[in-house]
Structure 1
Amino acid sequence: MARLVSEPVSSKKRKIPKDSGAPSSKRRVVAEADSDNAMAKVLELEEQISESRKYYNNIATLLSMLNTDGPVVKPNLAVAVSLCRVFSRLLAGGNLSETERAAENEKIVAAWLRERCREYQRALVTILREADPSSQVTALTLCMRLLSERATHIHGDDIQVWTSGLFKNVVEGLIEAKDGEVLRSEFSEKFLKPYEDVRYYTFTQVADYAATQRTPEILDTVFSILSACDTVPEPDHEFEEFYTKPSQNHKKVLSVNAHKKRAQDAWLAVLRNNLSQSQRKTLLRIMAHTIEPWFTRPELLMDFLTDSYNVGGATSLLALSGLFYLIQEKNLDYPQFYQKLYSLLDADLLHSKHRSRFFRQMTNFLSSTHLPASLVASFIKRLSRLALNAPPTAIVVIVPFIYNFLKNHPTCSFMLHRVVRDGEFKSQLESEGMDDPFDPEETDPTRTNALESSLWELEALQSHYHPNVAAICRIVSEQFTKQWYSLEDFLDYTYQGMVQAELGVEAKPLKRIPVVEYQIPKRIFTDRQLEEDGGQDTAPGSLLRGLWDFS
């Protein structure tokens, strides 16, 4: 009898179908082959352009392959380099320029090529602004190569190529580039510092760019570019390093004064911009070494420095050196200089990180022996009064500073020792004492009566808790046999140095072992401690209970 026989069930596992595609190794091979084919295609298009004018349309094809359109720029750098070679050859062959005798079709072709060249330049600037750092550096190199070719081969266009067009867009792209730190560093090291014509025209472009109000972030970038130009040419400097050969009709590139004038215009445009307080301080820090040497007319800095000096605080401290230079060298009339300087002497100054810089500058400001004794005495007295509440690191600077000024201005030595000859007044002084005639609230340093006062503050500081401070304060009680003290030996005295001096290898051995409390109380503010100590009010903490009532 026939029966239905079922198919045997397979014991094999069901295979998971793989992705429809080649294995990973094969995919790599395919990708490399596609890349080689694309590169070969680019080279073929480039070769055809160099062979015949009938292939000029290949330029438009290559431009479409650059991939600079869209929100995310992922440029095809091989195409960018190929186009640079194409346009370099066209510029060298004179194909982008036209003559009056050229036929109409020749003019049309030249105009079309110039338009494609501008399109290529815009694409490079887009890469410069928005691409990744590696692509930005490549685009910068191609822009500068194209600029060199254009300045070399287009007659009469060597100045215009720097002052407008491509280089103008390159400088703006450098400033506004996204994540452009690497790009700006490359520009500074490869072009700005080595080549004097690049530096000259960079100053020109930055001056035009900074003439418009910019954001603080943009201004920080402008600072970094200008600050990289920290080598000012000497009056006898000979210009030899050029990225492009300067033409005979533009000899300003060979002039030291012209270079300094361009730098001066650039810095002035920055100083007149919308600066924040931190940016103003940054500029004042580099004023003496980086900015002022570029100025052929330093008096143009007058407004910026006086405004900064009037701000007060750390900003005024940073503006001191530049302002005093204008007073001393350029005859700037600033009658309130010493009054403002006197107002800067406050407790905050002695805790400021600019304290050392201020004392160095004040040594120069008050060094003239023609200053009134009353003015110098006010500064000495003000510092002595501030020393009472100053940190030890500041006191060790103040005392040698006062010593030097007493040696420089002997008239002020009456503040150390004044003989009282009137017998009646002398007995009254010894029995009752006297009020200090110094007026600490007076803002005019010539009217504080400091010369009638004394330096009793330094006498008090001879009992300071720190032995080094007490020792240095005793120099005013001894004979002034030393000509002067070098402030540089004291300006960098810090808390860290004090600790190292006490704990270091060269620390002096202790003559007397310090007494420490060996009994640590369990309670300080409660009466239970008193009960635990047997009811006697002699335990540690009893003084606090005696002074304060916690009931």
Structure 2
Amino acid sequence: MASVLAKKQKKKSNYNLKELKTLGNQLLSSRTHINNLPLLITFISPSSSPQFVLESLLSLQSFFITVLSDLPSSNSQINIDENELSKDPELVYKLWLKAKFDDFVKSLIDVAVSSQADETLNEIVLDAIMDFVKLGKDGRFQSSIYQRFLHAIVYSPSGLDSLLNSLVSKFFMYIDVRYFTYITVEKLARSLDSRGIEDKNNKSAHEDSEDLSRPSNLELAIHKIHYILSQIPPFDIKGGQSEYEMWSQLGLSSKEIDGKGLKEVNQKKGPKKCNSDVLSTSQIAKKIKLKFTKAWLSFLRLHLPLDLYKEVLVNLHQAVIPYLSNPIMLCDFLTRSYDIGGVISVMALSSLYILMTQHGLEYPNFYEKLYALLVPSIFMAKHRAKFFELLDSCLKSPLLPAYLAAAFTKKLSRLSLVVPPSGAWVIIVLIHNLLRRHPSINFLVHKQTDETDEDSSRGDGEHCENAKEPDTCDMSNGKPGIDMFNVEETDPAKSNAMRSSLWEVDTLRHHYFPNVNRVVLELEKDLTVRAKTTEMAVKDISGASYATIFNREMSRNFKRPPVTNQITALFPDSDFPGWVFKLDESENDEKSTKRQRIESS
């Protein structure tokens, strides 16, 4: 057996390009040369020369396109017994052609996902694979070939950036390609999820394995799935879209369209446009939205790498939530992310806020988690601008209890002592808005720290009617000059904010950054009169930093006072009779020369 294989391998290596072209012409001319078919398939290999691969590909593609409609489906081979095969030689021939076609497609996919293949050759191979996907059986989308192709791309140990870019740019504008991409991605994500679980359970048994269970290859596969999902354009019919493009001749089969078949279109090459009278745009949009939802939910169940986890959270509220069939299905993923804390919670806040305000999600511990995020490091975080805008929006409700508004106000006031000037600027604006929205906590601004215990208890009781725990507002144990606020407390109801004052803000009256003390002066106004005051926009200053503040100050034009008299001497001569305050010109020249020497050195 080994000698036979060696002989075949030797014969293959002895062929030149001209002989290979002759084999292809013979195959296309007559069935008597059908034995050239398996030989030509052997040249479709990552180890073969690109010229040999291209020449074999052109011949085999031309051959299979003519016989593709006569090939039996994979399911029909199961019901064929040996008696039928012996009675029908033509059926045996077609089954053999079907097997060789599968081998040919497999070889094409191997070349496409190989890191050794040339980029130009990959483009040609990609077009050939997608042509067979388009022709398929009876002109419908050949999903089995497309799924095998995407499976090979995701499971390949190579990055395949150029191949993925070509696939996205050439074929993701077609509706049927997007539809079956979502279906395939869902299956791949489920497969990776199960393999990841097996890898955790059998880590010791697979330490020397080189398959996909290795963490590096698993992470690469997850990154590829995310790239594919994020590059599919959303199918949105809000703009009144009435037409859409199909890659295959008949588009989606009737099984995916709720039993409503499609009218056949002309079998011309190239993509076809299906009008709304053939298939309703709303029907196809509903189907794609459902597959889009299943694909993303399956992907989000994976153990995402940290860098990819952050990227997904940042874009989730814009790229995913608006196109889900039921966005509330993301609540588990987002609440888990929000409970992690730190920068992950900040990134999950945008999407979680959308679910709460637009889709009716109830999250009882939302404000406690938000309160815990107020730490000095948040003022240096990359996404602090969006966080401050959402923080301002979350605290806008007039139904917010007084104890909660006071806790956030006091926590921000304490942070103003340790944050950069840009952070202090944002904090004072947030405090200004909180005091204007919630008049019940305005006593924090004017409370005297040296008041007696009796006055403190009476004054604070007037503002604790809406508190969650009225006992926390009891100031009978308070001492004059001592701040009862507990900055280390994570529960805002137990922070004693109602027993404190905003003395930290008073220290910012003479801050070296003029915008800070200017906003502090605004707090002296009577903010309870809402008709005479307005809220300050957080969006305009939320992304400020040392660099932006410095550039803003440097670009300002300062008015210089006019010079009325030319000063020639520091003291008039009349004050010192007998003295002449005049520098000799020679000494002036000598000093100038010395100064030039020093500067040049």
TM over 0.5: yes
Residue in structure 2 matching 1:51, options 10, 21, 29: 29
Aligned residue for 1:435?
482
2:336 matched to 1:307? yes
Counterpart-to-counterpart distance in 1, 2:53 and 2:190: 36
1:498 Cα deviation (Å)?
A: 2.0
What residue number does 2:108 align with? 124
The CA distance in 2 between the partners of 1:43 and 1:421, in whole Å, is 100
Structure 1 residue 288: Cα displacement: 0.5
User: In the alignment, is the contact (CA less than 8 A) between 2:44 and 2:108 conserved in 1?
Assistant: no
Partner of 1:381: 410
2:268 aligned with 1:290 = no
Q: Which residue of 2 aligns with 1:142?
A: 128
1:261-276 map, 5 Å: 261-276=290-305
Q: State TM-score, norm by structure 1.
A: 0.76
**C-alpha contact (below 8 Å) 1:90/1:96 kept by paired residues:** no
Q: For 1:49-93, what per-residue CA distance to the aligned partner results, in whole angstroms no more than 9, with x for missing partners?
A: 3332212222223223334458x998622221321121112225x
> Where do residues 22-421 of structure 1 align in structure 2 (5 Å cutoff)?
40-68=18-46, 76-92=53-69, 94=70, 104-130=88-114, 131-153=117-139, 158=140, 161-162=142-143, 164=144, 166-177=145-156, 178-192=158-172, 194-213=173-192, 215-234=218-237, 238=242, 240-244=244-248, 245-246=250-251, 247-251=253-257, 254-418=283-447
Using a 3 Å threshold, how does the CA distance of structure 1 residues 447 and 237 change in structure 2: closer, same or farther? farther
* Local SS of the residue matching 2:349: helix
Other structure's SS at 1:390 match: coil
1:492 partner SS: coil
Residue identity matched to 1:171: L
Residue aligned with 2:494, SS: coil
In 2, the alpha carbon distance for the partners of 1:286 and 1:426 equals 52
2:553 to 502, 521, 532: 502
Partner amino acid for 2:445? L
In structure 2, do the counterparts of structure 1 residues 66 and 420 end up closer, same or farther at CA, with 3 Å as the change threshold? Answer: closer
CA distance in 2 between counterparts of 1:386 and 1:81 reads: 70
Alpha-carbon spacing, 1:179–1:371, altered in 2? closer, same or farther (3 Å)? closer
Q: Secondary structure at the match of 2:136?
A: helix
How far the C-alpha of 1:367 sits from its partner, in A, is 1.2
**Contact residue 133 and residue 179 of structure 1 kept, 8 A:** no
Q: Give the SS at the match of 2:428.
A: helix
**Alpha carbons of 1:248 and 1:307: their partners in 2 closer, same or farther (altered >3 Å)?**
closer
1:457 matches 2:460: no
CA pair 452-319 structure 1, distance change in 2 beyond 3 A: same
Q: Is the 8 A contact 1:68 1:74 kept in 2?
A: no
Cα pair 1:48 1:55 within 8 Å, conserved: yes
Alpha-carbon distance, 1:351 to partner: 1.6
SS in 1 for 2:109: helix
Distance in 2 (alpha carbons) for counterparts of 1:67 and 1:106: 30
Q: Secondary structure at the match of 1:241?
A: strand
Q: Secondary structure at the match of 1:446?
A: helix
Looking at structure 2, the residues matched to 117 and 324 of structure 1 have their Cα atoms a distance apart, in angstroms, of 52
Distance apart, 1:211 and its partner CA: 0.6
**Partner secondary structure for residue 332 of structure 1:** coil
Give the match for residue 546 of structure 1: none
Q: Is the 8 A contact 1:49 1:86 kept in 2?
A: yes
Structure 2 partner of 1:473: 520
Find the residue that maps to 1:383 and give its secondary structure.
helix
Q: CA, structure 1 residues 147+474, in 2 after alignment: closer, same or farther (shift >3 Å)? A: same
Q: Deviations over 1:473-509 (max 9, x none)?
A: 22223455431211222123221122223333x3436
How far the C-alpha of 1:433 sits from its partner, in A, is 5.2
Query: 1:327 Cα deviation (Å)?
Result: 2.8
Q: CA deviation at 1:470?
A: 2.7
Letter in 2 for 1:45: L
Measure, in 2, the Cα distance between the counterparts of 1:436 and 1:339: 22
3-state SS of the aligned residue for 1:396? helix
SS of residue paired to 1:135: helix
**1:114 CA displacement:** 1.0
Tell which structure's C-alpha radius of gyration is larger: 1
Query: Across the two proteins, how many residue pairs are aligned to each other?
Result: 460
Alignment correspondent of 2:274: none
Does the aligned pair in 2 maintain the 1:317–1:354 contact within 8 Å? yes
